[in-house]
Amino acid sequence: MTSEVVENEFEFYSKAEKYWKDVPPTVDGMLGGYGHISSIDINSSRKFLQRFLRDGPNRTGTTRALDCGAGIGRITKRLLLPLFKTVDMVDVTEDFLTKAKSYLGEEGRRVRNYFCCGLQDFSPEPNSYDVIWIQWVIGHLTDNHLSDFLKRCRAGLRPNGIVVIKDNMAQEGVIMDDVDSSVCRDLDVVHKIIRRAGLHLLAEERQENFPDEIYHVYTFAMR
């Protein structure tokens, strides 16, 4: 539980904000120096997501997606804009969202909203999104804030919409990273938070072909 490793909630959030303000607004910056894994990441995410976008009675729509912890728009540009008519982006760092407007190029015209906000304070517009994509950012939320945010995401889904989390998973327990002021949870803890938010797990997949020295990365789809 994050309550065991986060001593001061205000400090936990303010230290993270300060950390990201000093990170260069580049793909390499977004990925902590691992920019070279971006294509592997995007290709796997696309395959994972497309299983829900295929034809069928419960097919997830392709009208609107939300990119949470969007940074400069790496995922918006390469994963979401090619698949969805419009995308909204939310990130706590204003400089990243400013950079996104040039980084996204012409296709960026289909980004409707750039929300500058921490996810602990953000509420997706109800009944609005086919896919809410949350990648490499849940570690910046306490357990309670993550559970509450996922509840708000659930309310933000259109019929047959899904919430997707893609993130690092610890081997056991909850590990604090003092450098960027984040936590890494194990699978059991994440499953419990998903259940607590009233979401049902539809699919879970471990990312392949990432460097051995980094945490295992898992993708979850829920509604």
- Per the annotation, where are the binding residues for S-adenosyl-L-methionine? 69, 74, 91-93, 119-120, 135
Residues marked as binding?
69, 74, 91-93, 119-120, 135
Output the CA torsion sign for 145, 139, 203, 67: positive
Q: Are 40 and 209 in contact (CB under 8 A)?
A: yes
Q: Are 64 and 124 in contact (CB under 8 A)?
A: no
Q: Find all residues with CB under 8 Å of 73, minimum gap 6, and list them.
A: 67, 89, 100, 103, 104, 108, 111
Residue 56 and residue 73: Cα distance in Å, rounded?
Answer: 30
β-strands 182-185, 174-177 pairing: antiparallel
Closest CA to 133 of 98, 171, 91: 91
